[in-house]
Chains A and B, each alone.
Chain A
């Protein structure tokens, strides 16, 4: 290997690592706020990428029908809960079940966006509400279950979504055009515009999230919930709000990641799962709690993957997933007293 190839691999690893970093951020966010280990995070990536591809091909993305069906189901559930005397926050319910799906339907069916940017926005509007809707259907009824139960629910939901992905998009993969066709040559190193877009969008999302958690009231409420669930509830932060917002953010991050990688690699209905899992490896580096460590882990995963694809391409996935073992070993070195489960 010469320096040229090494730089190329490093660049590749950085771009992939950025996407894994986004995954890891979403996973840490959802876990710390809701205790859900959100295995289906990767499905948002695949759904986002493939919806974008369908929009680009001038077809109606099947995810629209999924969104409308889920919105209808959640509405039915909310009415049923309301009839049984549960307190239902109709504002948030209507935002997720009516307003956003209506906007998405109007964009897809009415506006039929032509430009790449408009299609990207449409995709994001299409995918983001899926997060809170799935949360309300699958996880909210089990809000008091153990982490283990929620994990099993997560895996079941992953199964459903992958199956639906195959049904919606078929077994063939898709690729979308790059957001930027530019190419730069810096000291013999080819840098594509798309990779700059990926890293740039990732960085700006990280900064936006940082501002959201540091400045906004809802962001602070989420942080409070992550630190002390009961305490936050006693201070009047509804569990529902934290669930809705964290899952919406996860779906949003997933959709954006899907848009970012679709021009770089062919996305199949089940590609998201592997991407999500690599995000998990990164998130575990951060103990499912630390955002900066998770991002660092993601960069490590990206580099490991990129360099192992050069030396031992057949064992690329094996190497990436076995990274989890030394990481866990290292973590367990520092834990002496037993931790009680929640």
Chain B
């Protein structure tokens, strides 16, 4: 699948090589547009103001969906239901006699909408958390299916609850009053709506440009990889889903005070789907894509509702046909939505950002490596059965600090299965894996990572559209601590600078310094494997598991890799290498374990293994076969 191009152009190379084009950077353009909109707001026609206000409300919901869909690789069709929770909560608090008499007495009538906001956010949080918690561990498609069912249920619930006014809903919702200033007209409330939207965009932009943002993006790159970097993917998915739901609830709260009445219709499933259309058509990988999508769909709907009935001769929601076709076209032809196209065209007129330098650099967590010779990773009698097939049969081996241990064997010998079990991707059927002296039975791979296990993958797992440095910085995730709120508020800059510094130095150490800012997918496959090594090193591991690191490398690159591994060994790391390149293995490894049909057939120094008959049989197809005669 094609991942969307990055939100901000990763093109510092053009800043140094190409001629300086344009007169304004993207950030300046954004600020200028916002200022222009603010200045013009007072003179815009009433109708435009109303439409703009609705676009702002929809964009708020769609932005949450962008975070879910394009960034986090999940989706929801039920956002409209969360909007409904936000809207109904405030409408009920502001109008029901019970709450007005009780709450109104305590906080005053003007405070009721704020109580409604708190209630709406509280209920939404609880519902979203419960729905999310149930599905985060399952494959990705269960969450959206669940949101369909939930979106429908809530719609019927709204329409059948007497205290929520049934199908007619709740009327007489009071306007918002902010610091004694009534926001009754769309012109005044619209300012608040757009202020909230722009604030949300700013916060989310900051979030994405941080350690936590990288972790969120990694959800889309496959959860096995993210977990191996120490990221609790279930937790991140849950938080992201809740975040999207809360944004929808805020939109609903504003909606109720703009519309001044609520009924179930705008919170039905088809509107939930429309929100998703906005995110996808606008560009689901980009925060501004949500705003663009909300504007396009809202204006288009406006036009189509005039045009289609006269064209078709009957009335009805026919715009959904056009939206659906538009969506199919976008998904098949412009998978990234409209925003990337606009961003590409505008590239000509924009000056690239000058990267900001952080003032302070924080210290990252450091691990004291165990003394050489200590057993770091111990597999004892590890057996794995898939039904009747025994992939690993009582494999016992260990990795010690300060040595390179190679695991070799013909194709299908069970090396990858074994690799999965000593890295926590899968559980052994029998036997035990110990890491740093701890039993790791039934623990997920992120615990392995936190105890100091770094790994690479046989099939490269990088976020192809993100830069090399971002991919490598992901490896250092566990060494920093700043969370979502700190990232949103830019309180993480010193730590972020340290992470990027660390990533850059690991990239340099692995010999890819020139490619640090290029998208990872633009590198040759062999180089991508080296990026994975740099990513593992950024986590400052004590044990390094490398799955065929030399595959796809050229001769000189292999020599450089061997030198790097030898240096890491000297620093006290324990390294386990699965490799097919015998020259590479024999020259580098201290000990070699040979697997065949899932069973260890030999273990020892390279010289011992090379002299072992069973190994020769396994590799050359039987010693009694006259190989020489054929040659």
Residue positions of A touching B, CB distance < 8 A: 37, 39, 138, 141-142, 144-149, 151-153, 155-164, 166-167, 170-171, 274, 277, 280-281, 284, 288, 314-315, 317-318, 321-322, 324-325, 328-329, 331-332, 335-341
Contacts and interface: CB of A to CB of B under 8 A. Distances in A.
A315 B138 contact: no
Interface of B: 1, 69, 73-75, 77, 131, 134-142, 144-146, 148-150, 152-153, 156-157, 160, 222-224, 227, 233-234, 270, 273, 276-277, 280, 312, 314, 316-321, 323-325, 327-328, 331-332, 335, 425-427, 442, 444
A321 B332 contact: no
Best-surrounded residue of B74, B160, B222, B227 (most CB of chain A within 10 A):
B160
Given A145-B1, A284-B145, A332 B328 contact: no
Nearest to A37: B141
Nearest to A283: B145
A338 B234 contact: yes
Given A142-B332, A148-B74, A156-B327, A321 B149 contact: yes
A156 B146 contact: no
Contacts of A166: 316-318
Contacts, number: 163
Best-surrounded residue of A153, A167, A324, A336 (most CB of chain B within 10 A):
A324
Nearest to A156: B327
B223 A280 contact: no
A325 B74 CA distance: 18
B223 A332 contact: no
Contacts of A141: 332
The B interface, classified by DSSP as helix, strand, loop or mixed, is: helix
B2 to A, nearest CB: 9
B123 to A, nearest CB: 16
B473 to A, nearest CB: 22
Contacts of B141: 37, 147-148, 151, 288
Contacts of B444: 336-338
Given A163-B317, A281-B149, A325-B134, A315 B156 contact: yes
Nearest to A315: B160
25 contacts: A138-B328, A142-B331, A142-B332, A148-B140, A149-B335, A151-B144, A156-B277, A156-B323, A160-B320, A160-B328, A161-B324, A167-B321, A277-B149, A317-B152, A322-B153, A324-B145, A325-B131, A325-B150, A332-B134, A332-B137, A338-B233, A339-B139, A340-B223, A341-B73, A341-B222
Given A155-B276, A331-B138, 16 more contacts: A152-B280, A159-B273, A159-B320, A159-B327, A163-B320, A167-B312, A284-B142, A318-B153, A321-B153, A322-B149, A325-B150, A328-B142, A328-B146, A332-B134, A336-B427, A339-B138
A335 B328 contact: no
Nearest to A313: B160
Nearest to A170: B314
A311 to B, nearest CB: 14
Rank and list the top 4 A-B pairs by shortest CB-CB distance, nearest first: A163-B321, A160-B324, A159-B324, A156-B327
A30 B281 CA distance: 26
B331 A144 contact: no
Contacts of A153: 327-328, 331
Nearest to A280: B145
Contacts of A162: 320
Best-surrounded residue of B233, B234, B270 (most CB of chain A within 10 A):
B270
Contact of B139 (A144, A163, A337, A341): A341
A164 B280 CA distance: 22
B449 to A, nearest CB: 13
